[in-house]
């Protein structure tokens, strides 16, 4: 099973319940605030999940939310939640062939399960109007959390080497912030960013390596 198929099967089952558990907390509220700050009319979400709570909060502000996700069951729920069957589709953003350009494109709480996220970002930039915004969050590679999960991966590789069965799973994709910032500048984006603990007020840096970026595309 390749990585995309793996995440598709995981998220078809897992995310539908998990999203309610996470709720609509300060982190999600901050994402909505950032995405809606320029009063966009139409936005696109990569990895939209069930559409709740972020898409729902944007829709309540009168914003049309389009999007895509590889998990069909999540897409069916998002289409219903956001009352948008035409604009929400099953698949990877890199398959998008349309030429519509959005006020804001965003990818939140999903980048770490998308291999080759730079390609996704490039596509998001192309799908954004000049002067529009690209918003996303990433997991910081320079974090204890990343080191911890690498140790687990090494342990699992060792078990496999010994012939001990471990369930196949793919790890989180962490991003190097210095490399990411260079990529954004090279692609004509000005950016601001916030670390998760700055948003939530929880100083647990070991478990909060998310960093939110809000980027403006040059006119
Ligand atoms: C943690 S959920 C977040 C959903 C939503 N963004 C939210 O914040 O509620 C991650 C989502 O990304 C989707 N996903 C994973 N890889 C993807 C890809 N390559 N293209 C589009 N969606 C993807 C998963 O199916 C899942 O629904």
CA of 71 to the centre of ligand 1 (A): 8
Considering only residues 87 and 145, tell me which one the structure prediction assigns the higher pLDDT. 87
- Sorting pLDDT into bands at 50, 70 and 90, what band is 207? low
175: β partners: 140
CA angle in degrees (0–180, nearest 5) for 209-213-215: 165
CA of 161 to the centre of ligand 1 (A): 31
> Which residue's CA is the closest to the ligand 1 atom numbered 10?
110
- pTM for this model (two decimals): 0.91
Q: Count structural domains, the chain.
A: 1
Is the CB of 113 inside a 6 Å radius of any atom of ligand 1?
yes
Share the mean pLDDT of the chain: 90
Ligand 1 mutation target, pool 2, 3, 4, 7, most atoms within 8 A of CB: 7
| Residue 145, ligand 1, Cβ within 6 A | no
Q: 27 is written with which tokens?
A: 């982190």
CA atoms within 13 A on the CB side of 21: 5
Q: What is the 3-state secondary structure (H, E, C) of the chain?
A: CCHHHHHHHHHHHHHHHHHHHHCCCHHHHHHHHHHHCCCCCEEEEECCCCCCCHHHHHHHCCCEEEEEECCHHHHHHHHHHCCCCCCEEECCHHHCCCCCCEEEEEECCCHHHCCCHHHHHHHHHHCEEEEEEEEEEEEECCCHHHHHHHHHHHHHHHHHHCCCCCCCCCCCCEECHHHHHHHHHHCCEEEEEEEHHHHHCCCCHHHCCEEEEEEEECC
What is the rounded CA–CA span in Å between residue 57 and residue 114?
24
Specify the pLDDT at position 15. 77
Q: pLDDT by residue (tens digit) across 169-182? A: 556 889 999 999 99
The answer to whether the CB of 210 is under 6 A from ligand 1 is no
- 36-83 pLDDT, tens digit each: 999 999 999 999 999 999 999 999 999 999 999 999 999 999 999 999
Which residue's alpha carbon is nearest to atom 4 within ligand 1?
A: 49
At 147-175, the pLDDT tens digits run 777 777 777 777 777 777 766 655 688 99
CA distance 69 to 76: 10
Mutation probe of ligand 1 site: the residue of 104, 113, 210 with most atoms within 8 A of C-beta:
113
Instruction: Report whether residue 49 contacts ligand 1, using a CB cutoff of 6 Å.
Output: yes
Pairing of strands 88-90, 102-107: unpaired
The CB of 54 under 6 Å from ligand 1? The reply is yes
Burial of 59 (0-12, 13-18, 19+ CB in 10 A): middle
The CATH number covering residue 10 comes to 3.40.50.150
Domain of residue 184: give its range: 3-217
């Amino acid at each position: 099973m390749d990585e995309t198929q793996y995440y598709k099967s995981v998220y078809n089952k897992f995310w539908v319940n998990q999203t309610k558990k996470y709720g609509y907390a300060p982190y999600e509220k901050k994402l909505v605030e950032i995405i809606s700050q320029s009063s966009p009319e139409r936005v696109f979400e990569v990895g939209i999940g069930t559409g709740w709570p972020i898409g729902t909060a944007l829709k309540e502000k009168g914003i049309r939310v389009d999007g895509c996700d590889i998990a069909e069951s999540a897409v069916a729920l998002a289409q219903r939640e956001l009352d948008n069957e035409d604009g929400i589709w099953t698949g990877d953003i890199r398959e998008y062939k349309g030429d519509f350009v959005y006020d804001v494109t965003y990818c939140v709480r999903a980048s770490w399960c998308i291999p080759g996220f730079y390609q996704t970002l490039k596509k998001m930039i192309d799908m954004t109007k000049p002067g529009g915004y690209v918003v996303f969050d990433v997991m910081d590679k320079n974090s204890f959390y990343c080191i911890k999960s690498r140790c687990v991966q090494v342990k699992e590789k060792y078990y496999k080497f010994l012939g001990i069965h471990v369930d196949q799973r793919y790890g989180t994709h962490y991003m190097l912030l210095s490399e990411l910032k260079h990529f954004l500048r090279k692609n004509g984006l000005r950016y601001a960013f916030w670390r998760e603990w700055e948003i939530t007020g929880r100083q647990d840096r070991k478990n909060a390596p998310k960093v939110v970026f809000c980027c403006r595309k040059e006119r």
